[in-house]
Amino acid sequence: MAQARVKARAPRKESRRKEPVFGERFAVFAEALLTGVWIAVACLGVVTYPAAFAAGARHLRRRIAHEGGGLREFGADFRAAVRGGWVVGLAGWAVAVAVRVDVMAARAGIPGGPLVGAVGVFALIAATVALLRAAAVWTPGAAWRALLADAGRRTVLDPAGSFLVVCGLAVVALSAWFVPPLAVPVLGAVAAAAVAVEERHRHR
């Protein structure tokens, strides 16, 4: 009889353990969506998107580590990251314009245009992934040049992680295509994906 009672109680204990884990993961997901709104607002400066993602990623890292932090800390991180991050943002737009020219050349039927256009698009995607991976590990005082150099190597040497980040970008693109307002909170999910990829790479 006693053994039967122990067996009957065991499943209840397992279900109790699963509830806090599920609740915590849902809380992180909800926090990521809220962070996406903060990131979107911080990106309104046109060249401030690297700093916005860096501040968002650092906020999510604090949330995962059960450390304090909110909008005020996000703003402080954003101001610190934008000091050198605006140059990265400007360079990113320059790369995007160059790729746009390549794609236009490919559509115009210029010899070799399709190959150049494909290479340009691939390079833009790789640069975006490297930027997100650099933002995911940013800390106040870190040099963006060094962060991007290291992130570029990880982008190449960790293709699985880079593919996961690309999938996150694809989700944003699809969200913007079907339901444009939904793309705003999903930006936080992209930052969370980059943080998760970097944590995965660090523990390998």
- In angstroms, the CA 50 to CA 145 distance is 12
pTM: 0.83
> According to DSSP H, which parts of the chain are helical?
2-42, 49-64, 71-107, 113-136, 144-157, 159-178, 183-202
The fraction of the chain above a pLDDT of 90, given in percent, is: 57
Greatest alpha-carbon span in the chain = 84
Query: pLDDT tens-digit profile of 97-136?
Result: 988 887 887 777 777 667 777 888 899 999 999 999 999 9
Reference 185, options 76, 12, 30; nearest CA is 30
- Asked whether residue 91 carries a pLDDT value surpassing 80, the answer given is yes
Residue 5 has pLDDT above 80, yes or no: no
pLDDT at 178: 87
Summary mean pLDDT of the chain: 85
Residue 69, φ and ψ in degrees, nearest 5: 150, 145
Reported as a single tens digit per residue, the pLDDT across 145-164 is: 999 999 999 999 999 999 99
Residues 6+ apart with CB under 8 A from 28: 60, 63, 64, 192
- What is the Cα–Cα distance from 172 to 176, expressed in whole angstroms? 6
If you write DSSP's letter for every residue of 99-153 in order, what string do you get?
Answer: HHHHHHHHHTT-TTHHHHHHHHHHHHHHHHHHHHHHHHT--TT--HHHHHHHHHH
Residue-wise pLDDT tens digits, 48-87: 999 999 999 999 999 888 887 789 999 999 999 999 999 9
List the one residue out of 76, 18, 1, 5 whose CA is nearest residue 42. 76
Of 175, 180, 155, 142, nearest to 57 by C-alpha is 142
* Confidence tier at 22 by pLDDT (50, 70, 90): low
**In angstroms, rounded to a whole number, what is the distance separating the alpha carbons of residues 136 and 49?**
13
CA dist., res. 39 & res. 188, Å (int): 7
Q: What's the pLDDT at 83?
A: 92
Long-range (24+ apart) CB contacts under 8 A made by 24-30 are: 28/60, 28/63, 28/64, 28/192, 29/189, 29/192
Beta carbons of 187 and 151 less than 8 angstroms apart: no
